[in-house]
């Protein structure tokens, strides 16, 4: 077991709220596996809000995270399953840094998407030592997440495109909140009809807030 000071240092370095490092292992010369533990020992039942629960099962899985120095980081995460003492229902805890059924952290997804917007999928795959297929899967899942989390306020809207697939033959439109620099939608097609359909789906309350639009799309032949 590594020394407590070193574990404390890695905990600070990965900087995940309410999470501490309990172990680590160098998988290769450039990869590290970090085992995490939630500092909170209890959970709250989402069904009856009772906080008196017991751990029902431990579910360990491995997710990718942003690099630490020149190391590729993999996190060994325990998403505990609790059983409520009051209503007797079983539920899984929510972890703030990773979505359910995702093999990567939220911050890695944001990093990868941001890099794709600046370059292309192939370059980002090489930089992050991921396959093109892994990047494309991440983009599709990120797109689904964005569609389920509609923006509430937009003043400056950017509409751009990214090269999705090898060879640059397929494009996707990306809509960005220019004030926060965060994507609000990734669309599988970049034509006017698809973009217009998404914008109208936001509703008049959101559209009426938009004061400025910046568009950078290639003309369709």
Q: Residue 169: what pLDDT?
A: 46
146-151 long-range contacts, Cβ below 8 Å, gap at least 24? Answer: 146/183, 146/184, 146/185, 146/186, 147/185, 150/202, 150/206, 151/177, 151/184, 151/202, 151/206
Q: Residue 39: what pLDDT?
A: 85
Cβ distance 35 to 23 under 8 Å? yes
pLDDT greater at residue 167 or residue 212: 212
Q: What is the pTM of this model?
A: 0.73
Q: Residue 219: what pLDDT?
A: 53
Q: Residue 167: what pLDDT?
A: 47
For residue 30, count other CB atoms closer than 10 A to its CB: 12
Residue 1 scores a pLDDT above 60:
no
- pLDDT, mean over the chain: 84
Band of residue 221 on the pLDDT scale cut at 50, 70, 90: very low
Residue 141 scores a pLDDT above 90:
no
Residue 85 scores a pLDDT above 60:
yes
C-alpha distances (whole Å) from 128 to each of 36, 90, 125, 156 are 22, 37, 5, 30
């Amino acid at each position: 077991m590594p020394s407590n000071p070193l574990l404390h240092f890695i905990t600070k370095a990965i900087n995940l709220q309410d999470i501490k490092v309990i172990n680590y292992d160098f998988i290769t010369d450039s990869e590290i596996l970090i085992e995490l533990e939630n500092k909170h020992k209890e959970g709250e039942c989402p069904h009856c809000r009772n906080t008196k629960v017991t751990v029902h099962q431990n579910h360990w899985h491995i997710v990718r995270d942003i690099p630490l120095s020149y190391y590729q980081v993999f996190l060994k995460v325990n998403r505990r399953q609790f059983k409520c003492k009051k209503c007797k229902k079983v539920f899984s805890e929510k972890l703030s840094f990773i979505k359910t059924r995702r093999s990567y952290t939220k911050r890695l997804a944001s990093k990868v998407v941001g890099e794709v917007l600046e370059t292309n999928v192939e370059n980002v795959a090489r930089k992050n030592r991921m396959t093109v297929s892994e990047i494309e899967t991440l983009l599709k899942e990120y797109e689904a997440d964005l569609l389920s989390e509609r923006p509430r306020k937009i003043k400056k809207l950017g509409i751009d495109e990214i090269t999705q697939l090898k060879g640059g033959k397929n494009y996707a439109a990306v809509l960005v909140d220019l004030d926060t620099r965060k994507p609000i939608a990734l669309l599988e097609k970049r034509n006017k009809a698809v973009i217009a359909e998404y914008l109208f789906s936001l509703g008049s309350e959101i559209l009426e807030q938009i004061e400025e639009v910046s568009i950078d799309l290639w003309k369709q032949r």
